[in-house]
Amino acid sequence: MSQRQTAIDFYHELCTTGALAQDAWDVLLPGLSARGLIFGDRPLTTVLRPLLHTGMDWHYLRWRSTVILGVFRKMAEALRDDPALRTQVHLTPEEEELIQIPVGFDAILPTARLDSFFTVHADGSYQLNYVELNGESPASMAYSDVLSELFLETPLMKAFSERYHVDTLAVGRRNAVDALLRIYYEWRGNRSKLPDLVIVDWEGVPTTTEFHLFVRYFARYGVTVTICDPGAMEFRNNTLYADGRPVDFVYKRVLTTELLQRYKLDHPIIEALRAGVICMANPFTCKLVHKKASFAVASDERNAWMFSPSEHEAIRQHIPWTRVVEERRTVAPDGGSIDLLPWASDHKDDLVLKPNDEYGGKGVLIGWECEQAEWDAALQAALDDPAIVQARATIAYEDFPSLTPGGAIDISRRLVDSDPFIFNGDMIDGCLVRLSKVTLLNVTAGGGSVVPAFIVDKRE
């Protein structure tokens, strides 16, 4: 049995000891509400245990994520510089225009997130598959920090800590602020003033509670932050205004696709960027790797020239075979030559279909959970509306404890998503952890739970 599983078993044993589980939930439930750990009207957490890593587990996940980040950083730079290569990610004409706007700093991914399944087997060996890169507007950096603080206050974690050293990964807010201030001062060329910052997203989005966590954290640095709907912004006299307040730094949480759907290229943020009077994170160039098709660029034989031998090995180990849905011949996962569309139809039980530019699980079709007619219709539709097919990844599962409505302990299996955060385009630190009882794991889609990740090692 692995050291990690031994720690998990001890935690679950504590859950059945006396009233520890109920006492822990009596701390968690009101704490979630009081600290803004709410997604829409739902508490972020429904279970009693965080994800537990040993130090070696976390070292491996961070190391391999750093290697894969290097793959995507190299790819983003190549896509930015090569219009012919860029056709493989299927930017829209409006997006092509936006990525031409100078941004005033180098980082394409000031903040981002790699979504993965990380399995630790009973013998201690690892299996790690990355399935998406959230390169545009990654949520939960602040949520995960505050969740860590709350879990540490529970009687369960206090009892667990008597046998195990516990370190949190609560570094998201600090690293995000560092990344954002770095690009702001690179854009300004000096440190003569604090930024006048605005967080921009639609009014009423379920992540608004996290925006308020960031507002309070930025205040520690003396930075005043406004939260603003895109419709409450204007550009006049060479100045961008958010709810009437002049701003020079936009932390853009609204997705580019949604902004373009509503405003095309006629929005004050875009005007201000063209005028060079604001800094914005993430820059529009992040779309180059935010598109699901970036995984196809990484694994497609046409692009082998782009990567080193060690990067090829990392792609083989960690990035599932992925192709944009189109009529072409290509190389199959087993190395054979295939006609892509007929092959994808015949192998639906081994594939997932994902729209090129959606989020929250929208439009994702799980091949092994749908009928053949539905799958084939989706493949045909993808010829006109870009999508990818991706090989079925090895999904990570773990047992997690929760309380039933009657107060009994239920320890049951959940799918586990481990999603390391990216900062400054070159650093991996912190991790979003999502749990679900169904295959489509996404809190935005209306299911699942978020828990913090802790590093634990047994005391001597």
Kindly report, residue by residue over 425-436, the tens digit of the pLDDT.
999 999 999 999
Count other C-beta atoms under 10 Å from residue 372's C-beta.
12
pLDDT of the residue at 416: 96
- Residue position matching structure tokens 């409450």: 232
pLDDT of the residue at 359: 72
Rounded to an integer, what distance in angstroms lies between the CA atom of residue 96 and that of residue 188?
Answer: 25
Rounded to an integer, what distance in angstroms lies between the CA atom of residue 273 and that of residue 149?
Answer: 38
pLDDT of the residue at 460: 80
Calculate ∠ Cα 86-90-96, nearest 5°: 65
Kindly report, residue by residue over 118-157, the tens digit of the pLDDT.
999 988 899 999 999 999 989 999 999 999 999 999 999 9
The tokens of 394 are what? 């090895």
End-to-end CA, the chain: 19
Kindly report, residue by residue over 67-106, the tens digit of the pLDDT.
999 999 999 999 999 999 999 999 999 999 999 999 999 9
Kindly report, residue by residue over 307-329, the tens digit of the pLDDT.
999 999 999 999 999 999 999 99
Q: How confident is the model at residue 360 (pLDDT cuts 50, 70, 90)?
A: low
pLDDT of the residue at 445: 43
CB under 8 Å to 29, separation ≥6 — which residues? 43
Kindly report, residue by residue over 269-287, the tens digit of the pLDDT.
999 999 999 999 999 999 9
pLDDT of the residue at 40: 84
Helix (H, G, I), strand (E, B) or coil at 119: strand
Kindly report, residue by residue over 346-355, the tens digit of the pLDDT.
999 999 999 9
Kindly report, residue by residue over 243-275, the tens digit of the pLDDT.
999 999 999 999 999 999 999 999 999 999 999
Count other C-beta atoms under 10 Å from residue 98's C-beta.
21
Task: Look over the chain and give the mean of its residue pLDDT values, rounded to a whole number.
Answer: 95
Q: Give the predicted TM-score (pTM) of the model.
A: 0.94
Q: Are strands 233-236 and 111-120 parallel, antiparallel or unpaired?
A: unpaired
Fold of 3-289+396-407+415-458: Rossmann fold (3.40.50)
pLDDT of the residue at 425: 93
- Whether pLDDT at 234 is above 60: yes
Alpha carbon 439 to its chain's center: 17
pLDDT of the residue at 444: 45
Count other C-beta atoms under 10 Å from residue 266's C-beta.
9
Rounded to an integer, what distance in angstroms lies between the CA atom of residue 328 and that of residue 336?
Answer: 14
pLDDT of the residue at 124: 85
Kindly report, residue by residue over 4-63, the tens digit of the pLDDT.
999 999 999 999 999 999 999 999 999 999 999 999 889 999 999 999 999 999 999 999
Domain spans in the chain, listed from the N-terminal domain onward: 3-289+396-407+415-458
- Whether pLDDT at 112 is above 60: yes
The tokens of 259 are what? 């902004």
- Whether pLDDT at 440 is above 70: no
